Each structure stands twice: as C-alpha cells, then as structure tokens.
Structure 1
Amino acid sequence: MRIEIWSDIVCPWCAIGKARLDLALAQFEHADDVDIRWRSFELDPGAPTVRDGDYATMLARKYGTTVEGGHAMIRRMADEAAQSGLRLNLERARPGNTFDGHRLLHLAADRGVQNAVKDRLLRGYLAEGEAIGEHDTLLRLATEAGLDPDDARTVLDTSAYAYAVRTDEREAASHGISGVPYFLIDGWYPLPGAQTSDVMLDALRQAWRKSHPDTDTATSGTASALDGHHD
C-alpha cells in the first residue's frame, strides 16, 4: 500500500497530520507493507530565503486577525500537536522559502531516507527555530537525518530535482489540492487535512480491504467520516 502525502515543511498542520498518521500506523495491522512518499507543495512559493517578523504577526496578517489572534492560533496548534505527542515552538519559527528543502526531500527519497529527512526538517523549523530557507541550515539538518553531505551540497548548488518538485505541484493541481496536508492512499482514497488518528486508521483499513479483498483486517467498528469522499 502506498500513501502519498502532499505537504510543506513550514506547515504546522502537516506536522500534526504526520504525527497522527504515525499513531494510526502503530495500530494498523499491515503497517510493514505501507510505503510512504512525501510530495512537494509550497504554501508560499514567492517567500524569501528568510522572512522577517515574528510568527504571530505573520499569521495575523495572513488571516486578517490581530496579533493576539495570531498568538491564539499558535497556542491552538501547539495544543493539537501535544495531543499527538508532538512538540511545537512556533514562537521561534523563522519562515522562508521551502523549494530547496523539497529538492532535498526528493534526493532523500532516492537514498531511502525521505521520512527521516522530512521529520528532521519539520522539527528543525517548527520546534527549534531553524531558518529553513538557508542552505547551510538545510545541509546540516539533512545530514543529521542521514543524507550524504556531499550529495546534499551538490543538490543545493545546482538545479537538481527542480523538475521533480514542479511535477509534484502539477500533480497536486490535477487532484484539486489547494491546501495541505493531503493524503492519497493507493492512488484512489483521498484524505485531506490533518484528520484524527482514528479516521486515518479507518481509512487505511478500508483501502487495504479494497486492494486485498481476501485478507482479513480488523475494523474500527465505525465508518470513516470521509467514506465515499472522492475528488
């Protein structure tokens, strides 16, 4: 079973969705047969390398609220993340352009360490205040997650994997994806947003039953909240 996930490195809800998927997979009877592939999606393609200003102010400007409203949004996301065992420290976030980070994730996929690199980039940005658009930061984090530093530097110094990133983004448009995270299970079961781990687990089981009709799979006893949803 393949799960394709469109997401961005600077997306808190993407990290929350990943944490909830991890919880669902921990209960999924066929987790060892699941192949996860992270797809590229830029929330702000025109972002500079590092965007000046604090995160609460940025949220306030983006969503038309007050700075206090921005802080309230940060607290809500941190609370949601904590419920899935994820720590966010968005007050330290240093937003920036994520195109080069996505290129590194394609390299990581080719090297078999994509999930580890994705996790490290998310954690670096969302919890540790790393400037995710800077090459030196990306090189350090990706190397810590298992990429060869020379390979990573070569990608960052060239246009390698640029076409792969754009291909992911065109495919997202073809699926009608306008926000992330967006999960696509086995190419036919869409799961938009950071759904609860229970909904994700039910979706995994439904998709497994369809592709493996002769295999017994435990059920959650409830229908998915998104059963029958198709784009």
Structure 2
Amino acid sequence: MSVDIFSDIACPWCFIGKRRFETALAALPFGEKVDVKWHAFQLDPSLPDHFEGSELDYLTQAKGMPAEQVAGMLEHVTTQAAGEGLKYDFDALHVANSFTALRLLALAKERGLGNEMKEALLSAHFEQGVDTGSNEALQGLADSVGLDPAETAEVLASDKYSDAVRADGVRARELGVSGVPFFVLDNKYGISGAQPSEVFEQALSQVWKEIGGENLQMIGTTGQDGAVCGPEGCN
C-alpha cells in the first residue's frame, strides 16, 4: 500500500502528524509493507530566505494575525508536540524560506533517504533552532543522514530539483489540498491534518482490507485534532 504525504518542513503540525502516523504504522502488523513517499507543499513561497524576526513576528506581520491569537496558537501546538515526544522551541526558531530545504529533500528521496532527511529538517527547524534557510546548515544536516557531500553541495549551489518541488505543489492543488499535512492512501483516500494515531491506524487498516477485497468505511476527519497549516497560517 502506498501513502503519499504532502507537507512543509516549516509546518508545525506536519511534524506532529508525522509522529502520529509513525505511531500508527508501528502498531500495525503490515506497517513495514506501507510505502511512504514525502511530497513538498510550500506554505509561503513569498517568504524571504531569512526573515528578521521571530515566528510570532512573522505570523503577526506577514499573516496579519493578532499577536494574542498567535501566542495562544504557538502554546497549543507546543503542548500537542510535547504529547508526541517533540520539544518545540519557537523562541529559537529561525523563520526561513523552505524552498531550498525542499529541493534537498527531493535529492534525499532519490537516494532512499527521504524519511531520514525529513526528520532531520523538521527537528532542526522546530527543536534545535537551526537556520534551515542556510546552505551551510543544510549541508550539515544532509551529511548527518548520509547524503554524498559533493552531491549535496551541487544541489545547494544550483536550482536542481526546483521542478520536482513545483510539480509536487501542482499535484497537491489538483488533489484539492489546501492545508498540510495531507495523507493520500493508496492513491484513493485522503486524510487531512495531524489526526490522532488511532485515526491513522483505523484508516490504514481499512484500506489494507480493501486491497484484500473488503469494503472501506470512510472516516470523517474534521475537528481540532485534525489541525493543519495553510497559506494563511495554522489552526
């Protein structure tokens, strides 16, 4: 069974969704047979390579969200992340354009290191205060997951994989994706948001049964626990 996941490395709910999805996979007897592919969905292409200010500054200035609302949102998402064993640090976070990081992720996918690179990028951005808009920092992250240093340097010094990142965005729009994370199961069924692991487990089990000839019961995926990030911000 295939699962295609659309997300951005600058999306806090995407990291939470990744953990919850992985928890579901680990609980399933067929989890190792699920082919997971990561796809790019850039939330803010207009963001400069380096934004001078905090995440709170960015969301209030660039998105026009009230500071009190943003502060509450960041507190909520930090609490949700902690529930998945993640230690978000929005005070140390560097707001940066994610396009180069997504290009590097495209290289890692080709080399069979997509999940490792995705994990490294998300952790660096949300937990470690690493500037993921810095080529030097990205080179170090790529080295840490085992990518060839020379090949990484070539990608960072060029526009390689730009078309791949844009193609993912086009595909997402064709599927009607407006917020991430977004999970496509077996090229047929979509799950929107960082759903509880139990929802992922049930959905994966039902699709697996369908592949074996049983009918799929569609799952409703609305509500606060299915939080996503979109171009206008996160909920």
| TM-score, normalized by the shorter chain, greater than 0.5 | yes
1:71-110 deviation digits (Å, cap 9, x = unpaired): 2211110110111122211121111111111111111111
Taking the aligned partners of 2:90 and 2:160, their CA distance within structure 1 comes to 30
Q: Distance in 2 between matches of 1:223 and 1:160?
A: 39
Give the RMSD, CA atoms, in angstroms: 1.8
- Aligned with 1:224 (options 200, 219, 227): 219
1:121·1:142 contact (CA, 8 Å) conserved in 2? no
Q: Which amino acid aligns with 2:22?
A: D
Secondary structure of 2:127 counterpart: helix
Amino acid at match of 2:165: V
* Corresponding letter in the other structure for 1:224: I
Distance 2:104 2:123 in 1: 16
Q: Which residue in the other structure is 1:57 paired with?
A: 57
SS of equivalent residue, structure 2 residue 38: strand
Aligned 8 A contact 2:54 2:95 in 1: no
Letter in 1 for 2:103: R
Q: Find the counterpart in structure 2 of residue 217 from structure 1.
A: none
Q: Which residue in the other structure is 1:127 paired with?
A: 127
Match in the other structure for 1:37: 37
- The equivalent of 1:182 in structure 2 is 182
Instruction: Say which SS state the counterpart of residue 128 (structure 1) adopts.
Output: coil
Residue type of the partner of 2:135? H
Q: Within 2, Cα distance between the matches of 1:144 and 1:98?
A: 19
Secondary structure at the counterpart of residue 179 of structure 2: coil
- Provide the rounded CA distance (Å) in 2 between the counterparts of 1:97 and 1:66: 22
Give 1:93-108 correspondences, 5 Å limit: 93-108=93-108
The yes-or-no answer on 1:173 pairing with 2:173 is yes
Q: Distance in 2 between matches of 1:208 and 1:35?
A: 12
Compute the displacement of 1:111 (Å). 0.7
Corresponding letter in the other structure for 1:106: A
Q: Which runs of 5+ in 1 are unaligned?
A: 215-221
The DSSP-based 3-state class of the residue aligned with 1:92 is coil
Corresponding position of 1:198: 198
1:168 is displaced (CA, Å) by 0.6
The answer to whether the 8 Å contact 2:24/2:201 transfers is yes
Distance 1:63 1:197 in 2: 30
CA contact (8 A) 1:4 1:39 kept: yes
Gaps of 5+ in 2: 223-235
Assess if the C-alpha contact under 8 Å between 1:202 and 1:223 holds in 2: no
- Distance in 1 separating the partners of 2:54 and 2:102: 24
Deviation beyond 6 Å, 4+ runs, structure 1: none
- Conserved? CA contact 2:121–2:132, under 8 Å: yes
Residue 145 of structure 2 is aligned to residue 145 of structure 1: yes
Give me the whole-angstrom Cα distance separating, in 1, the residues matched to 2:61 and 2:79.
Answer: 22
CA drift of 1:142 comes to: 1.6
> Identity, % of aligned pairs?
36
1:90 match: secondary structure: coil
Shift of 1:16: 0.6
Contact in 2 for aligned 1:51/1:95 (Cα 8 Å): yes
